[in-house]
Amino acid sequence: MDDDEEMKPESSKTEISDDSSSWLDSSSYNFFCNDRESSILSEFGWNLQPDNDRRTTHRDEAINCVLPSEHMDLEQGSNLAGISSSSSSSRLLLPENLMSVNQTALMISSSIDAASTCNPSVSSSSSEELPEKSTGSDGKPPDKPTTKGRKKGPKRIRQPRFAFMTKSDVDHLEDGYRWRKYGQKAVKNSPYPRSYYRCTNSSCTVKKRVERSSQDPTIVITTYEGQHCHHTVGFPRSGVFSRDPAFATQMNTSAAEPLYVPGMMQFHLEGRGLPNVTQLTHGLQREVVRSDQVLPESASHLPTDEGLLGDIVPAEMRNR
């Protein structure tokens, strides 16, 4: 049933998935972009404007992207899978291991729906912000006779979500937090299931979705929702995190200083919604074909003249 579309080359259909584009709907966001990429995006009708006020960081170990604060009301000092906030904008630090499990990841992120502030202190007690169903811990008897009856409540408010794509063999990447899987669903038009994880910290409401791209099975799409109200639970034995100063810094303080990256201009992207993954990928494919320039894989997570957007294009696609 799910083998019909499975290995169809990108020529036929190029959507990552129906819903993966649905959250790319905020009005603006910032990212690294070089001249070529900006021209590509311009071809798609997206209005790029240099934004020199906001600076984005790309270090050896982590990527730091600036997101529009008007869509993200993150609390100072809070963190979500490496997201920290400053006075004017929020930044997302991707820990090195997320970037380099098999290299290649482009963070594409945006906020969503009600990006209401969710301060850590609120997590379990504030019912107004988080109409999350009773988590079972309360043992509330269901309204319905069924054992799986759910408490009705106000409309569920989605917390800010952040997604990024990682080229990786493993679905569930270590990110310093412990996750408990609570569900798995088949994804429409994709042979690969989507897994749902929840932070094991009882007072933490952060959730995470992991799915593989139906187009390129080597790409894992990870989506975080919510903010951690606690620190990481210790790092993996290999110490990937401990040798990641950027990530460690971010975890200990929210005041990660913005750095300027030589050779990389930052643009402010404006339009009637963000270009979705498909559009970006398409444009870059074309560009890559034209430029006939293939990055060495080992260096693909470093800033190059292709910029970060170039990383989104899987090697196989580049070679087409």
Partner DNA sequence: CGCGTTTGACCGGCGC
Partner DNA sequence: GCGCCGGTCAAACGCG
Restricted to residues 137-166, the positions that interact with DNA (CB under 7 A) are: 142, 144, 146-150, 152, 155-156
Residues in a beta bridge with 84? 91
Restricted to residues 268-297, the positions that interact with DNA (CB under 7 A) are: none
Cβ 219 vs Cβ 213: under 8 Å: yes
Distance of CA 79 to the CA centre of its chain: 14
Query: Scanning the structure block, which residue is given the tokens 């019912």?
Result: 127
Tell me the closest approach of the beta carbon of residue 311 to DNA, in angstroms: 25
- Interacting residue with DNA among 183, 234, 245, 273 (CB under 7 A): 183
- In a 13 Å sphere around the CA of 85, the CA atoms on its Cβ side amount to 21
**11: Cβ contacts below 8 Å, ≥ 6 apart:** none
Residue 246 host element (H or E): helix 245-252
15 lies in the site for DNA, by CB under 7 A: no
Cβ 96 vs Cβ 204: under 8 Å: no
Per-residue contact flags (x/-) with DNA for residues 208 to 247, judged by CB under 7 A: -x--------------------------------------
Cβ 124 vs Cβ 136: under 8 Å: no
Looking at beta carbons only, is 6 or 35 nearer to DNA?
6
200 lies in the site for DNA, by CB under 7 A: yes
Count the residues of the shown chain that bind DNA, applying the rule CB under 7 A: 35
Query: Scanning the structure block, which residue is given the tokens 């412990």?
Result: 178
Counted residue by residue, the chain has a size of 320
CA gap 240, 248 in Å, rounded:
10
Count the neighbouring beta carbons within 10 Å of the beta carbon of residue 265.
17
Tell me the closest approach of the beta carbon of residue 11 to DNA, in angstroms: 23
CA gap 319, 301 in Å, rounded:
18
Tell me the closest approach of the beta carbon of residue 153 to DNA, in angstroms: 8
Looking at beta carbons only, is 164 or 179 nearer to DNA?
179
Looking at beta carbons only, is 34 or 168 nearer to DNA?
168
Tell me the closest approach of the beta carbon of residue 142 to DNA, in angstroms: 6
Per DSSP, the residues of 254-266 read: S-PPP---TT-EE
Scanning 93-101, 192-200, 240-248, 270-278 for contacts with DNA by CB under 7 A, the matching segment is: 192-200
207 lies in the site for DNA, by CB under 7 A: yes
Scanning 52-60, 78-86, 133-141, 308-316 for contacts with DNA by CB under 7 A, the matching segment is: 133-141
Looking at beta carbons only, is 140 or 290 nearer to DNA?
140
- Interacting residues toward DNA by CB under 7 A: 18-19, 132-133, 135-136, 142, 144, 146-150, 152, 155-156, 178-188, 194-198, 200, 207, 209
